A and B are shown apart, each in its own frame.
Chain A
Amino acid sequence: MTTQVNGLDSLALRADDMATQNNSENLTADKHQDVEVLETIGENILENPKFSTRNVNVFYGEKQAIFDASLDIGQNEVIALIGPSGCGKSTYLRALNRMNDTIDSCRVSGQLKLDGEDIYDKKMDPVLLRARVGMVFQKPNPFPKSIYDNVAYGPRIHGLAKNSTDLDEIVITSLERAGLFNEVKDRLTAPGTGLSGGQQQRLCIARTIAVSPEVILMDEPASALDPIATAIIEELIDELRENYTIAIVTHSMQQAARVSQRTAYFHLGKLVEVGETNLIFTNPRHQLTENYITGKFG
């Protein structure tokens, strides 16, 4: 915890420094200035990525939400997607597990590959894809079922448990990994909707883990939670990194700094800059990224 706080302080200091610097000198000579982003700056391509996306465009009817984004996500890393509101971060995330399919007017083009397989290929089954790529939503959405049944839902429909003892094991392990088991172990039959906001979100995480996905997509998972619950979730993400690849959309730069190894900055649907989290926040290479980080907008 202490290191994180120090990190925050140094980040704030750096931001202030940069602001004063920019105001006094023209240090921006080597920064990319174009408001028209022609190419993504930084390390958006990796070797052996878990997820590999190239030239992704997403349209809602006539309106285009994502412009030509190419980004790789590495194995067992946590990548944060940041940017101002409404700039397509959630849209991009939802393209990764084909949740955009549920919206009639939504069209996705480009190449998106999971472990080298094109996920938008006609032969790729969205059901199967979503068993491998799970999602946690902004507002906790537990089913109106018991805590046990919430977590058991996924394994049940996919037939992952051979018998009820197996299922019990899966549920308990998932709840433990989500850091919720100790708080609910005496009331597994209580309705999931009766938990607090933070507990509900952890329940949703447990629910997602129960299906043993390879990737977990998180769409602003802590934005509806109080600071303590948020802190618990952030610690959880760090632990989950051991077993899963995680992509997290977040509004909070501090959160991105705390939990992720790489960060991608989206601006009005364009992927502007990608890089190691520390470097992005201390030395952004694009003017737009710097403007966002120093709080000039968003």
Chain B
Amino acid sequence: MNASALIFIIIGLSLISYFSGRHRASVSAKSQTLIALPKHYGYMTAIWSGLPALLLIILWAMFKPAYLHEQIIQSLPASVILQAQDQLDLYVNSINLAIENGEPVEDPIMQKAMESYQVADSNSKWILTTLVFVIGLSGIIFSLTGALTKVQARVKVEKVIRIFLMLCSAVAIVTTIGIVLSVLFEALRFFEAVSFFDFVFGTTWSPQTAIRVDQVGSSGSFGAIPLFVGTILISLIALIIAVPIGLLSAIYLSEYASAKFRAIAKPALEVLAGIPTVVYGFFAALTVAPFIRDVGQSIGLTVASESALAAGIVMGVMIIPFVSSLSDDVINAVPQAMRDGSLGLGATQSETIKQVIIPAALPGIVGGVLLAASRAIGETMIVVMAAGLSAKLTANPLEAVTTVTVQIVTLLTGDQEFDSPKTLAAFALGLMLFVTTLVLNVFALHIVRKYREQYE
């Protein structure tokens, strides 16, 4: 049977278990004092019936494709297996397609492979079904025995729930590990084809791949420096816009503005953070970039139609709330005593802010700027839509540059094999991106936390 039917069966068996257990417990309650409510006994037997079976199905569903894939490969004769990776994958793909479509095939090797697939598939299904039934029924049987009421049902149930809760919170760890492993794994495969040194220090980015089987990654150059420079250029422009505006806004709103103005202005600036980045990208590509190009051309400068300036400005606008929100928090955290001390000496408010408050809040502000920078570096949609694909190595904001994130998208949204160095390069770039933003974030949070301790 297929997975959905099995799930229904599990649910059914668990329900039966629940009612059976609960009933048994309430019957026992008449002759002895129970240590838990009948419903707890019901839950316990239901969990017994259902949980292991459910886990089994989930594991089966997760690992079945890989297992069956292996089966197919193993059933193929040596001659086929020794082909180059691409050919083999193509072969296996056609087998998979044939299985999906249910069409008969002529090639006897494929036929044999299909048969062994089907055998393995149905075998696994049978084993699964049997196990599910055994587990489910055992729960019901247990609920009918006298041993039921001797168990501390509520305690046990709560233990199971607690483990479930802990696992849920461990999802965060699993996700991080998943990200690190998946990116690292593929990136390492990339570095087998292209050396790390060439990647990180190379200055030409032109990701071509072999067309013929025997050309292994030789004709493409994967020097990522233009990408790094492009990313930094656009992020820098974004910060140049966001930091002054964000910081001055935060200062004005927390030190000078009336409560009413602040109540309207602060949410208005937060709106900037809530607008999806694809909207910013649209705005950048269809309005800002042509505008800059036209203005530039009217003063006689050559401006690319996808200039770094356009992308940078719009990205800066998007980042303003990051800087202003965090700065606002740290400025408010400076104790009033410090302001009183300065004002008491006869300083004006701007002198107090410039000479006492901002220096006191500086670590927090720097932390905020670093977080904003990390956001700018990792931003994708604005640059995909408004920055170019040409990996030019330049510092001129009026030219078109490309960034790490743009290349990741480009490399992975074309029609290509998963294993070619081209797509693996995306993972290598992803690794660089992840590490950089991680370092920036950790550093920034460290600074902000240290600063908070100072004042608490």
Residues of B within 8 A of A137 (CB): 337, 340-341, 344
Q: Which of B340, B346, B355 contacts A158 (CB 8 A)?
A: B346
Residues of A within 8 A of B348 (CB): 127, 157
By beta carbon, the residue of chain A nearest B360 is: A144
Bound CA span A128–B344, Å: 11
Residues of B within 8 A of A158 (CB): 346
Interface check B338, CB cutoff 8 A: yes
Bound CA span A99–B356, Å: 17
Bound CA span A141–B342, Å: 9
Chain A, interface size: which category?
Answer: 20 to 34
Determine whether the beta carbon of A97 is less than 8 Å from that of B344: yes
Residues of A within 8 A of B360 (CB): 143-144
Bound CA span A92–B337, Å: 18
Q: How many residues of B contact A (CB 8 A)?
A: 19
Residues of A within 8 A of B163 (CB): none
The segment out of A177-185, A203-211, A257-265, A290-298 that lies at the interface is A203-211
Determine whether the beta carbon of B340 is less than 8 Å from that of A154: no
Query: Would you give the 0/1 interface string for A131-172, flagging 1 where the beta carbon is closer than 8 Å to chain B?
Result: 100110101011111000000011001100000000000000
Residues of B within 8 A of A97 (CB): 344
Q: Which of A99, A142, A157 contacts B344 (CB 8 A)?
A: A99
Determine whether the beta carbon of B345 is less than 8 Å from that of A154: yes
By beta carbon, the residue of chain B nearest A136 is: B344
Bound CA span A142–B341, Å: 8
Determine whether the beta carbon of A99 is less than 8 Å from that of B359: no
By beta carbon, the residue of chain A nearest B362 is: A144
Determine whether the beta carbon of A153 is less than 8 Å from that of B343: no
Interface check B339, CB cutoff 8 A: yes
Determine whether the beta carbon of A127 is less than 8 Å from that of B346: yes
Interface check B347, CB cutoff 8 A: yes
Bound CA span A139–B455, Å: 14
Most central of A104, A127, A137, A204 by chain B CB within 10 Å:
A127
Interface check A130, CB cutoff 8 A: yes
Interface check B417, CB cutoff 8 A: no
Interface check A23, CB cutoff 8 A: no
Determine whether the beta carbon of B337 is less than 8 Å from that of A127: no
Determine whether the beta carbon of B343 is less than 8 Å from that of A102: yes
Please report which residues of chain A, range 109-130, place their CB below 8 angstroms from some CB of chain B when the two chains form the complex: 126-130
Q: Which of A129, A142, A153 contacts B355 (CB 8 A)?
A: A153
Interface check B419, CB cutoff 8 A: no
Residues of A within 8 A of B341 (CB): 137, 141-143, 204, 207
Determine whether the beta carbon of A145 is less than 8 Å from that of B359: yes
Please report which residues of chain A, range 41-74, place their CB below 8 angstroms from some CB of chain B when the two chains form the complex: none
Bound CA span A143–B351, Å: 13
Residues of A within 8 A of B335 (CB): 141
Query: Would you give the 0/1 interface string for B255-269, flagging 1 where the beta carbon is closer than 8 Å to chain A?
Result: 000010000000000
Bound CA span A153–B343, Å: 11
Bound CA span A128–B341, Å: 15
Bound CA span A129–B347, Å: 11
Q: Answer whether A157 and B337 are a contact pair too, CB < 8 Å, given A99-B343, A131-B346.
A: no
Determine whether the beta carbon of A143 is less than 8 Å from that of B356: yes
Determine whether the beta carbon of B347 is less than 8 Å from that of A102: no
Bound CA span A154–B337, Å: 16
Residues of B within 8 A of A207 (CB): 341, 345
Determine whether the beta carbon of B343 is less than 8 Å from that of A157: no
Residues of B within 8 A of A129 (CB): 346
Bound CA span A104–B338, Å: 18
Q: Answer whether A130 and B337 are a contact pair too, CB < 8 Å, given A144-B359, A153-B355.
A: no
Q: Pick the 10 closest A-B CB pairs, nearest first.
A: A130-B346, A131-B346, A135-B344, A141-B337, A141-B341, A154-B345, A127-B346, A144-B360, A157-B351, A157-B347
- Given contact pairs A127-B347, A137-B340, A141-B335, a sample of 8 additional A-B residue pairs in the complex whose CB atoms are under 8 Å apart: A130-B346, A135-B344, A141-B337, A141-B340, A142-B341, A154-B347, A157-B347, A208-B344
Query: Could you pull out 25 A-B pairs where Cβ atoms are within 8 angstroms?
Result: A97-B344, A99-B344, A104-B259, A126-B346, A127-B346, A127-B348, A129-B346, A130-B343, A130-B346, A131-B345, A134-B345, A135-B340, A137-B337, A137-B344, A141-B337, A142-B341, A143-B341, A143-B360, A144-B359, A153-B342, A157-B348, A158-B346, A207-B341, A208-B345, A211-B346
User: Which B residues contact A (CB, under 8 angstroms)?
Assistant: 259, 335, 337-348, 351, 355-356, 359-360
